[in-house]
Chain A
C-alpha cells in the first residue's frame, strides 16, 4: 500500500468508533489507545506533529494484531490493517521500531522463518498440485502436515510440497518489512513455478490470505495467472461432500467447540467448511463460541506473539475462556500456529486441544 492511500485510510479511521466492538486487542486490553480509532489517531497525530515516534507510541503502533477484524466489519471497507503496516514500514525504515521487530526480521532474512536457524528445504520435482507448508506447520506442529497429507492421499491427491519451513511473507509484512515479505513470497512463487503446479494448496486461512489479498493489497506482487489457490480444508470438504472421503463417527462424547482460526474472517464464506467436516466425524453438534464466524477473534499467533507477548497471551486466554464458557471440554481448530498457542495454556482452562486435520485423519475410513 502506498503511503498516500494509507494516509487517506488513517484520516477516515482516526475518529471512527464503528468497529471498536469487534477489535480483539481492544477487548483484552480495554485501552482506547489500542483500538482502531486509537491507532488511527496516534498515526494521524504523529503526522500532524502532535506526537512523535518514541518507545511509547511505537509500542502502540505494534500492538495491533493485524487480524483484519476491523476491516471485515467496516461498511466502507477501510483497509486499516494495511495502513498500520504501511506506517510500521515507515518506522522500521527510520530505525525506530522496537528491537524485537529487527530480531525477527533478521531471522526471516537469514532463515526465512522466525523459529529455527535452519534454511528451508530445497524442493525438486513436479506435480499438478503443490502444497505450501510454511513455517508453523514445519516447526511448530509437523503432525498437522502429516495428517493433511494422509487425508489428501485418501482423496487420491499427492501434492508436491513447497515452502517447507518458509514464512509466507505475512509476518515480515506485518512487522513493516515489505521488501523481505516480497522476497519470501517471490521465492515461494518461484518454487511453485518450477513445480509446474496449476493449483496451490495451503493449510490455514492465514496462508490463504497471505497469497491472496496480501500480495495485491500490500506487496504489489502478482499471483501467477492460471494457478488456483485453495485451502486444504476446502478441498477436503468438496471430496467429503462428493462422497470421495468417508469418516467413521468418533466415540468421543465429550462436548466440543470449534475455534475459527486466526484470519478466518479474511476468507469470505469459509465458516461452514470446517463445521461440515466436523459434523461428519463428531457424534454430536459442537458448541459455538460467542466470538465465532463473522466476529471471530485471533488465537494469539501472528506478529503480536513476538512484539507483545502479553497481549498475544491474553488473546489466547480469551479464546480458551470463550470455549470453556460454552461447556466444551475439547477445543478443535486446524491452524498449527493457533494450535501451538492454545495448547500452551489449555490446562488452565481445563480444555483439551484437538487438531482438526488429525481428528479427520484418525477417523478416515
Chain B
C-alpha cells in the first residue's frame, strides 16, 4: 500500500465515508502503536530499535453494519483485515504483518441487555471485560471470566482465542459461557448463531468461530452466561514436597467433583521465585492455592473434603492467609516490574492434557527446555491452573535473562526454545495451546497438531474467506 499513495488515499476516503473521519486514522503515531500487540516477539523487535510492519489504516467502527461495509472494501481491493480488541494477546494474533486495515472494535462497547431471569448478558464485543464486570457487579452478578487480561482485553478478545480466566476450574472457559454470538463474516454477511448453545438442531457450527482468531469473521456481539456474586469465597494454601503428589491431589479433588473455583499449583521453581517475588512467601516446595465459593456451608464442606485429600497425601496446610493473599494479589504478577519484562527473553508454552499424561508432559518439557538451552541459563517455571474433570492445563514458561542483543539472533533463539517445548508437548499428548491461542507464534505447528484433519480446516477457511483477507498469517492459515 505504501507504494501507491493514490490508492491509499482513495481507500482512506471510502473508509471515512463508512465510519466518519474521526474514526479512521493513517497517522504515523497510530500506525506505529498498532504495529505491536502483547507478544514478546514484536515487543523485543521494537525494543531493539527495529520497526515493524504497521497497518495501513486503523478503523474504529461503531456497528456490525459498518464492519460489513469495511469488509466489502477489503474484499474489493484484496486488502488484509486484522481484528483488534485489546491487543493483549501473547501470540501475535493481532499483528498486522501484511499491513492492511486494522479494525479496532473498542467503540462497540455497549451492554445491550441483561436478562436477570436467565442470568445472561448481551454485550457488544468491544467492551473491556473489567468494565463489563463492574457493571454486572452493580446488579449482583458476575461474568466469571476472571482473566489476568480483564483490564485490557475485550469480550470478543476472550472468545476469539478461546480464552480462560482464574476461576475457570469451576465456571469454565469463556467459550463455555457463551450462548450465542453475532458475527460479521469475511464476505460481509452479518449472522447470528442459534440463541442457545445446547440443542440437537444439527452440528455445532457456532463453535467454529471460537478459536478462529478472526479468520472466520469478526465477533461483534455475544450473549454470555452470568452467575450471582458468591455469598462466600474460601481461600486456602497447602504446601507439598513433591509436585507429582500435588498433581494427584488436584486430580482427586476434580474427579470427585468437589467443584473448586480455583486450584493453582506452582512448581518448586515458581514457588521460590514468582511466589516469593510477588507475595513475599518463602516456601520451598509446591505451593498450592485452592478456593471454594458460593453457599457458605457447601463451600466449607467442599473445602474440608479437599483438604482431607491434601493431608492424606502429605500436604502441609498453610491456612487461609497465604490463600487469601494470593487471591488479593493474583494479578500483581502481571504488573511491571513484577512481571516478566524486556530485555529478558520469555515465552509461555502453556498446554493441556489428560491426568494420565500430565506429569510426564511437564517433566519432558522441562527437560527439553533446560537441557537444550543450558548454555543460555534458561529457567523453566510452571503452574497448573485450569483443571478439568479429565485433565489439567500447565502454564509453563521459559526465561532467559541475558538473551542475544541482536534482534534477529534473539528471535531465532526464541523460536528454537519454542520448538523444543512444543515438540515435547506434542510427543506427550499435549495440545500446542490451552487458552492464549495460536496467533502467529504457534501457526507453524497447526499442521502437525491436526495431522490428517488439517486440510479440512483449510477447506473451511477457503469457503468462509474466499479471498483470504481475514487475519492472514495467523492460526496456521497463511495468506
Contacts from A to B (Cβ < 8 Å): 12-13, 15-22, 30-33, 37-38, 41-42, 45, 48-51, 54, 56-57, 59-60, 74-76, 78, 290, 295
Contacts and interface: CB of A to CB of B under 8 A. Distances in A.
Contact of B46 (A19, A32, A45, A56): A45
Contact of B152 (A18, A74, A295): A18
Nearest to A57: B29
B152 A20 contact: yes
B331 interface: yes
Contacts of B27: 33, 56
Nearest to A76: B335
A37 B49 CA distance: 17
Contacts of B316: none
Interface string B295-317: 00000000000000000000000
B123 to A, nearest CB: 14
Contacts of A54: 28
Contacts of A49: 49
Interface residues of B, number: 46
Contacts of B32: 33, 41-42, 45, 50-51
A137 B338 CA distance: 43
B62 to A, nearest CB: 10
A18 B43 contact: no
Nearest to A73: B151
B49 A290 contact: no
A17 B152 contact: yes
Interface in B1-57: 23, 25, 27-30, 32-34, 36, 38, 43, 46-47, 49, 51
Contacts of B334: 18
Given A20-B151, A31-B30, 4 more contacts: A15-B38, A32-B34, A33-B32, A37-B33
Interface stretch (B129-137, B283-291, B465-473): B129-137
Given A19-B151, A295-B134, A56 B25 contact: no
Contact of A18 (B23, B25, B33, B151): B151
The 6 closest A-B pairs by CB, nearest first: A17-B152, A12-B336, A75-B335, A33-B33, A21-B130, A20-B152
Dominant SS among interface residues on chain B: loop
Given A49-B49, A50-B49, A56 B336 contact: no
B63 to A, nearest CB: 14
Most chain A Cβ neighbours within 10 Å, of B49, B60, B131, B335 = B335
Contacts of B341: 12, 15
Nearest to B148: A18
Nearest to B40: A15
Contacts of B152: 17-18, 20-21
A12 B87 CA distance: 17
Given A20-B151, A50-B51, A42 B29 contact: yes
21 contacts: A12-B337, A12-B341, A15-B43, A16-B335, A17-B151, A18-B151, A18-B334, A20-B128, A31-B58, A32-B87, A33-B27, A38-B33, A45-B46, A48-B47, A48-B49, A51-B32, A56-B29, A75-B329, A75-B331, A75-B338, A76-B338
B38 A32 contact: no
B149 interface: yes
Contacts of A37: 33
B366 interface: no
Contacts of B58: 31
Contacts of A38: 33
B33 A48 contact: no
A76 B337 contact: yes
B86 interface: yes
Nearest to B138: A290
B345 to A, nearest CB: 14
A38 B84 CA distance: 15
Contacts of B331: 18, 75
Interface in B228-286: none
A74 B128 contact: no
A50 B46 contact: yes
B340 to A, nearest CB: 11
A292 B213 CA distance: 35
Contacts of B128: 20-21
Given A17-B38, A17-B88, A76-B335, A51 B29 contact: yes
Contacts of B86: 17, 20
Contacts of A20: 86, 128, 151-152
Contacts of B87: 17, 32
A292 to B, nearest CB: 11
Nearest to A26: B106
B88 A16 contact: no
B29 A290 contact: no
Nearest to B105: A30
B365 interface: no
Contacts of A21: 128, 130-131, 150-152
B342 interface: yes
